[in-house]
Amino acid sequence: MSDFSRYFQTFEGGYAEGDLFVGVMVPDRRAVAKKEGMGWTKEVLASGLVHPCHEVRHTALFAVLLRYHVERANRQDWHAFLVAHFEGINNWDLVDTCAYKLFGRHAIDTSDTSVLLEFLDDDSVWKKRTAVVATLQFIIEGKYEETLAYCPVAAADAPEILQKAIGWMLKLLWLKQPELTEDHLAVHFSSGLYTRLIVRIALEKASKAHRADFIASFAP
């Protein structure tokens, strides 16, 4: 059995405290969902999404994504279904599985970011992370306003797991628009809103010297 404690904070007080892992690897979860997921009823999927076992929740989530992408005429319904059953999407891998491929995709296709904005304003770290990571789909399509707008909102008093997501999105934005991203980082790092962790991740692809100089120049 694989030791998932290396990847998730399952210890007391950690964000994954109480989560049950049985050792099923991600490719196997995805394979089960691909093979069986089209036949699962919504009742089965709903129970899977809140199952105490992490791998069961992830498998059910893979199945929902499959249905969303295959059943194109029912995308609105599947989007609403996952919003209504989001309770079990409570770890970073679950969030990252659906954030941009479903929530970001749907926001772009419908020109409706209302769910992302609701998630961003929620107290749940996982909903906030979903809103932030959903902007990856916008970045892929050359739309940067959402990332620049959502990241500062999410950054206020953000725990490390959310800071990492913010840094990740800004790193991907930097790869496309380095000057725009660094101007954004300079404003929010110097104000104290963005942490060094966010900046280090965002500038991970810059040279070590450039990153060090940036941090020295704009540290609050």
Confidence at 19, pLDDT banded by 50, 70, 90? confident
Please provide residue 152's backbone torsions phi and psi, each rounded to the nearest 5 degrees.
Answer: -65, -35
Strands (E), 54-169: none
24 or 191: which leads in pLDDT: 191
- pLDDT-above-90 percentage for the chain: 89
* pLDDT at residue 55 tops 60: yes
pLDDT, position 146: 98
Q: What residue ranges do the domains of the chain occupy?
A: 1-89, 91-220
pLDDT of res. 213: 98
Rounded to an integer, the average pLDDT of 148-173 is 98
pLDDT of residue 201: 98
pLDDT of residue 10: 62
Segment 2-18, tens digit of pLDDT: 456 567 666 666 676 66
- Residue whose token pair is 């999410």: 154
Range 150-171 average pLDDT? 98
The C-alpha atoms of residue 182 and residue 199 are separated, in whole angstroms, by 9
Q: What is the mean pLDDT of the chain?
A: 94
Q: Write out pLDDT tens, residues 30-52.
A: 999 999 999 999 999 999 999 99
Residue ranges with strand state E in 44-201: none
For 91-220, CATH number out of 1.25.10.90, 2.30.130.10, 3.40.50.150, 3.30.450.40 equals 1.25.10.90
Q: What does the H/E/C string look like for 42-79?
A: HHHHHHHHCCCEHHHHHHHHHHHHHHHHHCHHHHHHHH
Mean pLDDT of 117-145: 98
Q: What is the pLDDT of residue 188?
A: 98
- Given this model, what pLDDT does residue 20 score? 79
In terms of C-beta density within 10 A (0-12 exposed, 13-18 middle, 19 or more buried), how is residue 122 classed? middle
Is 0.75 surpassed by the pTM of this model? yes
Task: Determine the pLDDT at residue 11.
Answer: 63
pLDDT at residue number 198: 98
Q: Is the dihedral of CA 154, 148, 133, 112 positive or negative?
A: positive
How many angstroms separate the CA atoms of 82 and 115, rounded? 11
pLDDT band at 1 (very low <50, low <70, confident <90, very high): very low
pLDDT (0 to 100) of residue 23:
82
